[in-house]
Amino acid sequence: MSVFNMGYLFEWRNLRARCGREGCHTTTLRHPLAGRRMGILLGNDWFCSSDCFRLAVESRIRQLQEAACKNPPQRQSRLPLGLLLLSLGSITHVQLQLALQRQRESGGLLGDILCDLRLTTEQEVAVAAAMQWGCPVFTPKSKFSEIQARIPSALMQAYSMAPVHYAAPINKLLVGFVHGIEHQVLTAIERITSCVVAPCFITASDCWESIRCRTGQSNDVTFERVASVAEMATIVQSYAFQIGAEEARLEMCRDYLWARLNREGFPTDLNFTLAHESASTEEHHRMR
């Protein structure tokens, strides 16, 4: 056989994709002339059918759960927000004690309580929180509606965060937080969106305005009571093949499993609340 023919065969072998499920030997062409291939991508692997895809999703969810158990979020010692505001001269000792008493009686976040009592401003709280975490404060100069990056509203509301700026030339997304940075969530956003993600702090009003502007822009569904991994995988499978998704990405967001289904640049996001969420998370937020 000539060198030309050998090269031709080698090229076409590389253009064949094999199903990523162990034991399945289905293959398909991935050449543009072959048209859109059936099946769906999950990560770097292609799966030929809904059943193969469902099993792969179930395996991926279990991997994410195991990784989350092995590497729980580390609690870092930080100067309390109230003491920072006190040191900045934003509040007095008497005002801090009043806010702490209200927190003990009614719960809630100290920064929100201080603002509700009009003892300080949202901007001063944002500055103090940024000092806590060693991050900049971001003041929006453009309309939030112009930011194209999509994050599910359930996640934005749960973690008081929102996208505030996107630099297209470097594919960098700036995500603003109000109370504290959720590093696992930031990592998930980076992996799901393929953006370079950086945190900052914004005021509560700017956060909720960004969330409001983005309401209705994305297609996302939240599932509150999904008991098993198998059930989550079945739901992801059903949605993926119902909308004809070409690719799926799954990541853990501390209290949520986030599944993004991509079809021709229009993502559908599925968010599953995880059963371990309870009073421990409330305590986690209250201490900030």
pLDDT for the residue numbered 168: 87
Residue of 71 and 165 predicted with greater confidence: 165
Q: Read off the pLDDT of residues 182-231 as tens digits, 9 standing for 90 and up.
A: 999 999 999 999 999 999 999 999 999 888 887 766 688 999 888 799 99
Q: Give the whole-number percent of the chain exceeding pLDDT 90.
A: 60
Record the tokens describing residue 241, joined without a space. 């093949």
Kindly report the pTM of this predicted structure: 0.82
Task: Tell me which H or E stretch contains 102.
Answer: helix 93-106
Q: What is the mean pLDDT of residues 132-137?
A: 93
| For the ranges 34-43, 73-82, 153-162, the one whose mean pLDDT is highest | 153-162
Under the banding of pLDDT at 50, 70 and 90, the label for residue 8 is: very low
Q: Which residue has the higher pLDDT, 254 or 38?
A: 254
Q: pLDDT at position 211, please?
A: 87
Confidence (pLDDT) at 144: 60
Burial per residue of 55-78, b for 16 or more beta-carbon CB atoms within 10 angstroms, e otherwise: bbbbebbeebeeebeeeeeeeeee
pLDDT at 9: 41
Say which range, 8-12, 68-72, 93-97, has the weakest mean pLDDT: 8-12
Q: Which of 196-210, 247-261, 274-288 has the lowest mean pLDDT?
A: 274-288
**CA-based nearest residue to 36, from 247, 238, 246:** 246
Task: Classify 258 as helix, strand or coil.
Answer: strand
Q: Determine what percent of the chain is predicted with pLDDT higher than 70.
A: 81
The amino acid at residue 221 is V
Find out whether 189 and 254 touch, Cβ atoms under 8 Å: no
The DSSP string of 106-158 is: H---HHHHHHHTTSS-HHHHHHHHHHHHT--B----S-GGG------HHHHHH
- The structure tokens listed for 165 are 């700026």
